[in-house]
Amino acid sequence: MKKTIVSGLVITVIGAVMLAFGIGMHGQRAVIFDGLTPHVVSKAKTTRTQTYAKAERIKADVSDMNVVVKSGKTFSVKYAGEKINQPTIQKKNGTVIINSKSHKRGFSFNGFSFSSTGFYHGAANDKLTITVPENVNLKYLALRASDGKVIQEPAAKMKIEKYDLRVNDASQVSLSNLEIEQADFQLNDTDTVFNGVTINNGQLHLNDNDLAVNDSALTKTLIQTADSDITMNSVAVDGGSLSTQDGDVHFNDITITNSYSITAKDGDVEALNTKSDGYSTSVSDGDNRLFNQSNDNGGTLTQNDAAPNRLRVTASDGDVTIR
């Protein structure tokens, strides 16, 4: 009983302090606790633009904001949003470095967010815009983002020698009109769309998000997915492979050079209007259809399998249709 009374008194005191602080700050306000010291979070908006005469390397690590990369006349980085979430922007050794402040994590209720270290106000729908001159080829672009959109849709073709993209729990990733010499993408819980994207070498790792690739070219590109559906329309693939687990694959109007392989676990594979010199399909548990051949019990089907350029599909616990 004594412990219960003491606990009740402690909670009451904390509540009284919070109430007094709120009244002193003129009503309900967002609060951050630094240890035991409360601070009111300002929701003031700000806009900041930083321009550079020349830059060929960009490293950005941000969260809780939308990121837009576009082409323009001058190189600039613009932030628009809540002042407290404003990232640092600097140029060091020829690299533009953008970092947002870290935010505590927890859960939200009635305008406040709670964590093990206290409670605070979450980030707003802020926006970071990176403008790259049309005549500049980026040597390196490293972008790490979470809890926001990533939109890279330059009006003119943007060339990037090395693109390192890490996105987690974003509502959307949309890339278009890009030519990437080497790509290293890791996407988690983020639906992704490529339109008019050329990748000459790279790897894409996806988890719990769908990928749609349209009017693009993928050369020597390794794609590994888990719990993700993959759709490709009007895509040229030159070598490379696709490995999926718990997801469907839909190909339409695909041109294959130097062979391509698909390995699917627990998912269907459908390839329509695919152009390749040879084909091989192997199914362990599902229907297997290769043009005018079919086997309801899986097995292996081939057509001109000796050709050096062929599509190879291996599936377990899923149907395969090539026509």
Contacts with 260 (C-beta within 8 Å, 6 or more apart), sequence order:
237, 239, 240, 241, 242, 276, 311, 312
Q: What is the pLDDT of residue 104?
A: 44
Q: Any idea what DSSP says for residue 275?
A: B
Contacts with 304 (C-beta within 8 Å, 6 or more apart), sequence order:
277, 278, 279, 310
Residue 289 CA: distances (Å) to CA of 153, 250, 273, 294, 295 = 38, 14, 14, 4, 6
Residue in 232, 234, 236 with CA at minimum distance from that of residue 250: 232
Residue in 99, 91, 101 with CA at minimum distance from that of residue 60: 99
Q: What is the pLDDT of residue 185?
A: 98
Please give the structure tokens belonging to residue 42.
Answer: 């300002």
Q: What is the pLDDT of residue 33?
A: 52
For residues 159 and 251, give the distance between their C-alpha atoms in angstroms, rounded to a whole number: 26
Q: Residue 170: what are its φ and ψ, rounded to 5°? A: -100, 150
State the virtual CA torsion across 247, 248, 251, 255 in degrees, nearest 10. 40
Residue 186 CA: distances (Å) to CA of 37, 65, 69, 189, 225 = 39, 18, 18, 10, 10
Contacts with 259 (C-beta within 8 Å, 6 or more apart), sequence order:
239, 276, 308, 309, 310, 311, 312
User: Strand, coil or helix: what is 5?
Assistant: helix
For residues 318 and 263, give the distance between their C-alpha atoms in angstroms, rounded to a whole number: 11
Question: What is the number of alpha carbons within 13 Å of residue 42 lying toward its C-beta?
Answer: 9
Q: What is the pLDDT of residue 49?
A: 95
Q: What is the pLDDT of residue 169?
A: 87
Please give the structure tokens belonging to residue 58.
Answer: 């960009």
Q: What is the pLDDT of residue 8?
A: 62
Please give the structure tokens belonging to residue 321.
Answer: 């249709």
pTM of the model: 0.82
Q: What is the pLDDT of residue 125?
A: 80
For residues 311 and 304, give the distance between their C-alpha atoms in angstroms, rounded to a whole number: 10
Q: What is the pLDDT of residue 120?
A: 42
The CB density around residue 221, as the number of other CB atoms within 10 Å, is 24
Series of mean pLDDT values for 10-residue runs along the chain (323 residues): 53 60 53 54 81 94 94 95 92 94 48 42 73 94 93 94 94 95 96 97 96 98 96 98 96 98 96 97 96 94 96 95 96
Q: What is the pLDDT of residue 170?
A: 84
Residue in 100, 94, 178, 207 with CA at minimum distance from that of residue 145: 100
